[in-house]
Amino acid sequence: MSLSPLVRNFSIIAHVDHGKSTLADRILEQLGAMGERDKRDQTLDTLELERERGITIKSTPIRLEYVRENGERYVFNLIDTPGHVDFNYEVSRSLAACEGVLLLVDASQGVEAQTIVNAYLAIDNNLEIVPVVNKIDLPAADPEGAAQELEEVIGIPAEDAVFASGKTGVGVPEILEAIVEKIPAPSGDPAAPLKALIFDSFYDAYQGVILFVRVLEGTLSPKDQILLMNAGKTFEVDKVGTFSPGLVVGDTLAAGAVGWVAAGIKDIQDAQVGDTLTGKERRTEEPFPGFKPAQPVVFSGLYPTDTEDYRKLREALEKLKLNDAAFSFEPETSEALGFGFRCGFLGLLHAEIIQERLEREYDLDLIATAPAVVYRVTLTNGEVFETQNPAEFPTRDRITLIEEPYIKLSIMLPEDYVGPVMQLLQERRGSMVTMNYLGKRVELVYEVPFGEILYDFHDRLKSISRGYASMDYEQIGYREGDLRKVDILVNNEVIDALAVIVHDSKTYSLGRKIVDKMADVIPRQMFPVPVQATIGGKIIARATVKAYRKDVLAKCYGGDISRKKKLLEKQKKGRARMKQFGTVEVPQEAFLAVLSNED
Ligand SMILES: Nc1nc2c(ncn2[C@@H]2O[C@H](COP(=O)(O)OP(=O)(O)OP(=O)(O)O)[C@@H](O)[C@H]2O)c(=O)[nH]1
């Protein structure tokens, strides 16, 4: 007998801050899943950093029991999804493990950029959508307006929306009923060959990698020999179980179930999100479609400020990597910064999180170089290679074609700010795809080079729109770009770690800004320090860090001109020696000078 008719697998999706965690907690509370011990705010967000930043990074499913008024008992598997665009692939895999979603919209904010993107992820996965207009307790709430927007923008009938508040709990019983009524039970044949989708994983020091899986077909039990189809590796299952919250050991997981598997997997690279489990002998015909290996798209160099910390940094990176298939690092040497690592991330937030964890949890002081995307370069000899390290960029005369990654960016904003935001997008080399009016709000869809939004785009967008604009994006592949490498020289020496790749139209303005900013932050030396920006050896901007002027003449009250000359001569020599032997201290700020390119 299969239990699946009484199972509901679902997820909650929403724009950031629309109240996903709060509502999830209220549902947990109503279903009695939160013992006093666990009753902290927002059980679903686990990492300390997640709490502080108020965002969800790792998905943690929870198994709940719901008893209807007529006595029917249901098992709800609530699968949480990360709340940031860097992790959209993880979101899409978590959704693939569900039959339905609660789509939350803040009643005072209405539909935002991430509401739309998430709703489409759900539609692409053929999921049933239960629309929920949340935070209706707010004085500024306009539940009907928000429901209407859902209908206009996404095509979900306004009358289907459940009005609720995660804060007061109103509407939560209706949501639970809607989950039973609208979201289909999982299907799948428990007797078929095993087919299970990995939608998340983490590394446990004792059991190895723990896989979070949705069983689509067949059954999974301890001692089973399994094959990870994309990785091409086989393992023996140690334990399986469910979530309650926390890992609870069970006997088997049958078609329709959401649970976890431990199979002595040591390397998280072997068990990537999106891969399919099947039997080693009795295989399913096709893996679950849409597998994408985790691939870093943003790169930055990380160097210990204290060279003694190199080993400590390596060990910390290795530990973080155990738990994060999407993070990569390899040793790199910079003439300026010494020994460090070139690290790859899913996006800027991911980069910031890892850096912060290194500094906090591993007590490391780091210098991070400006983040860069992956460029594709075709050389005159026909060779094509990808590089994300400006220091490795070939010279102009060896290049026939440079391509850069593009994204499709959607922005929701009040119509009053459309002009300035369009101007910002133009500055960032964006081209418009569509513009939709929704009452007093507008959805702008643009195609923009990814490198152009890496730095301060989001902050600028927020400040231009007084915080009202929201954005989301997806990658759409490579396009030709007229890009140049700008080198930065301090004291006439190229500082490799400061090189940046920039569009031809921006080389002069960016070069100017970088050298000015650097001249500002580099401490004064005993001699003047030139800071220059160059392209292919040609200087395009220059600034000088002024020297301290030791007032050697102060000692010669008037008096002898030859003595004055001698002193000045002496000072000049001293200066030359300093230049020769002295090293200029370049502070971390200078490495990020490129980031403040919009001042
Ligand atoms: N008035 C009111 N405030 C709410 C309600 N639900 C959430 N909030 C507040 O809205 C803010 C965001 O809530 P969260 O539950 O953290 O939002 P979230 O969608 O989980 O955020 P992410 O995890 O970043 O996606 C918090 O300050 C909550 O206290 C509600 O129903 N009514």
Q: Could you report the per-residue pLDDT of 217-227, keeping only the tens digit for each? A: 999 999 999 99
**For ligand 1, mutation pick of 11, 16, 21 (most atoms within 8 Å of CB):** 21
360: left (phi over 0), alpha (psi -120 to 50) or beta: alpha
55 CB less than 6 Å from ligand 1? yes
- Residue 16 CA: nearest ligand 1 atom is 25
Hey, which bits of 360-422 come out as E strands? 366-368, 372-373, 375-379, 384-387, 399-414
Express each pLDDT in 300-350 by its tens digit: 889 888 888 899 999 999 888 887 878 899 998 887 778 899 999 988 778
Dist. CA 183–CA 131, nearest whole Å: 12
3-state secondary structure of 40: coil
- Residue 45 CA: nearest ligand 1 atom is 23
pLDDT band at 51 (very low <50, low <70, confident <90, very high): very low
The pLDDT, as a whole number, for residue 310 is 92
Stated as kind and residue range, the H or E segment containing 163 is strand 162-163
Tokens of 350: 């991911």
Dist. CA 130–CA 135, nearest whole Å: 16
pLDDT band at 265 (very low <50, low <70, confident <90, very high): very high
Dist. CA 82–CA 569, nearest whole Å: 66
Predicted confidence (pLDDT) at residue 290 exceeds the cutoff of 80: no
Dist. CA 597–CA 592, nearest whole Å: 9
Q: What is the mean pLDDT of residues 405-426?
A: 93
The pLDDT, as a whole number, for residue 62 is 86
In degrees and rounded to multiples of 5, residue 544 shows phi and psi of: -130, 135
Dist. CA 548–CA 455, nearest whole Å: 34
59 CB less than 6 Å from ligand 1? no
Close Cβ partners of 389 (under 8 Å, ≥ 6 residues apart): 299, 301, 332, 342, 372
540, 533, 530: which is closest to 579 by C-alpha?
A: 530
390 CB less than 6 Å from ligand 1? no
167 CB less than 6 Å from ligand 1? yes
Predicted confidence (pLDDT) at residue 384 exceeds the cutoff of 70: yes
pTM listed for this prediction: 0.77
N-terminal to C-terminal alpha carbon distance within the chain: 67
| 152 close to 144: Cβ distance less than 8 angstroms | no
Residue burial 169-200, b: 16+ Cβ < 10 Å; e: rest: eebbeebbebbeebbebbebebeeebbbbbbb
What is the distance in A from the centroid of ligand 1 to the CA of 518?
Answer: 41
Is the torsion defined by CA of 265, 256, 220, 61 positive or negative?
A: positive
Is the torsion defined by CA of 26, 121, 462, 469 positive or negative?
A: negative
The amino acid at 568: L
Express each pLDDT in 121-165 by its tens digit: 899 889 999 999 999 999 999 999 999 999 988 899 999 999 999
Average pLDDT, the chain: 84
19, 17, 13, 38: which is closest to 28 by C-alpha?
A: 38
Predicted confidence (pLDDT) at residue 580 exceeds the cutoff of 50: no
115 CB less than 6 Å from ligand 1? no
The pLDDT, as a whole number, for residue 574 is 42
CB atoms within 10 A of CB 391: 22
Per cent of the chain over pLDDT 90 is 43
| 278 close to 345: Cβ distance less than 8 angstroms | no
Predicted confidence (pLDDT) at residue 104 exceeds the cutoff of 60: yes
